Structures are given as C-alpha cells and as structure tokens.
Amino acid sequence: MNDVDWLVCTEPGPMVAFLCRRGWGSDRKLRLFACACARHIWRLLRTDATRRAVEASEGYADGLVSKKALGQARLAAQDGSKGSRTLADWQRADPAGWTAWCAARESMGSAAVDTAHMASCAATMGMGGASDGATRAELADLLRDVVGDPFRPVSFDPAWARAGDGTAARLALACYEERDFTRLPILADALEEAGCADPAVLGHCRGPGPHVRGCWVIDLVLGRS
C-alpha cells in the first residue's frame, strides 16, 4: 500500500493490516476505530450488555477502565447475547453483537480487522438497503479519521493548543468527551488564530467528516496517540 492507495482504499481490513505491519497503529487508535465500527451499527446492538462492552473498551483505551473490567464486560456481552448457542452460532446469528465483542478484545490488531468485517456483515443484514461494499467504504473513512495519513505525518506545535488560555485544548476535549464534532470548524478557527497554518489540520476540521472519538486532529491537540 502506498500513499495514494491509503487515500482511496475502501477496504478497512487491508488498511488495518498495513498499519500493524508497519507499526503505525497504536492499540488505542485501533481500539477506538473498532469502537467506531460498533457505534456505526449501534442501533443493531440488541442488548445493553453489548453496548456496555463497547463503552468499556472506549474507557479502556483512555485508561479509565481496567483490563479486568474490560474482560468482564466482554464476557457479559457474550453471555447475554448467545444464550445456549455456540460462539460460531452467535457470530452467524448476531453479527452486531459479535462486533461489540470483538471491539472489547484485550488487544487490537487483527481484532480491529474482525470488528470492521463483522460490522459490515451486521449492516448488510440489519440496515435495509445497506450494501456490504458501501459499509466497508464508510468504515475505511472512519479509519482515516482516526489515523490520518500515515504517509504524511503532521508536525503539531503544542503551543497552539495552549494559546489563548487553552482555547483549542478545551474545544478539543469537549468534542472528544461529548462526541460533538460540530465544533471542529470552531477548533480550526482557534488553531488558526494560535498560529497553525497546516492545511491538513485545518482542512480536516473544516471538512465534511466523518469524525469519531479518536479523530487524529483532536488527538494531536490533546497530546494523545
């Protein structure tokens, strides 16, 4: 995969595999991508336990949930969804629940690939008119939002986040915690006023998205990787 392939690829699986081979995808980034895949099909999750598993994985990504609690949430999702069926039966019958279970795995990498695949299967089965190819393309866009362009790393000056009594940092944190990405154009204005002129950063904030928790610009502002 080269820089052009990365920008136009509509298959998240090979993109994640490429990141893992190159060591360009942190566990946190891949975990938040996996959670974004699960949230993409949120309305198809049948139980509170599967939704809590995704939320626990998000908390684990930021050090707010312990490894033990993550495992318990994953096990609860499994027990609550499959009943007496085998794991294989559950995977076939409830790909959305399996998506949540994959998103709550202890380590990412191949698990992120599995999560994207199962989310695509779930969308095809449960969202009227959704095509598998269209869903995979949407998930690829989510991955680009989380990771950015690994071929063109951005040099970000932390002073931009601190300028104006930390205006950009406060905006980025609000976007992250509240999942309110409508504020990203305002974040772009704050960064520009602080001295940032990077077209990739400003363009991403002012572009159409999609944006999810883990957005690469928000993470840059917050100093997260």
- 49 CB contacts (<8 Å, ≥6 apart)? 73, 76, 77, 79, 80, 81
Query: In terms of domains, do 37 and 133 share one?
Result: yes
The verdict on residue 122 lying in a domain is yes
Q: What is the pLDDT of residue 84?
A: 47
Domain of 187 in residue numbering reads as 158-222
140 and 171 fall within a common domain: no
| Portion of the chain with pLDDT greater than 90, in percent | 73
Kindly state whether residues 58 and 125 are assigned to the same domain: yes
Q: What is the pLDDT of residues 85-114, one digit of tens each?
A: 666 666 667 889 989 999 999 988 888 998
| 147, 172, 206 - which closes a domain | 147
pLDDT in tens, 159-197: 999 999 999 999 999 999 999 999 999 999 999 999 999
Q: Do 134 and 25 fall into the same domain?
A: yes
Interval 137-149: pLDDT, tens: 999 999 999 999 9
Same-domain status, 85 and 123: yes
Q: Is the pLDDT of residue 20 over 80?
A: yes
Asked which of 147, 176, 191 is the last residue of a domain, the reply is: 147
- The C-alpha atoms of residue 192 and residue 201 are separated, in whole angstroms, by 10
Query: In this predicted structure, what is the pLDDT of residue 139?
Result: 95
Task: Give yes or no: residues 101 and 163 share one domain.
Answer: no
How many domains, the chain? 2
With pLDDT > 70 as the criterion, what percentage of the chain qualifies?
A: 92
| Boundary-marking domain end, from 126, 147, 168 | 147
Q: Among 67-76, 122-131, 161-170, 214-223, which stretch is predicted with the lowest mean pLDDT?
A: 122-131
Q: What is the mean pLDDT of residues 7-35?
A: 93
Report the 10 Å Cβ neighbour count for 112.
31
Close Cβ partners of 222 (under 8 Å, ≥ 6 residues apart): 161, 169, 172, 173, 176
In a domain? residue 92: yes
**Model pLDDT for residues 106-124, shown as the tens digit of each residue:** 988 888 998 998 999 888 8
Tokens of 152: 């063109």
The Cβ of residue 152 has, within 10 Å, a number of other Cβ atoms equal to 10
The answer as to whether 26 is a domain residue is yes
64 secondary structure, DSSP code: S
Structural domain includes residue 112: yes
Assess if residue 47 is contained within a domain. Answer: yes
**Same domain (yes/no): 13, 75:** yes
- Residue among 153, 154, 166 at smallest CA distance from 197: 154
Q: Is residue 214 part of a domain?
A: yes
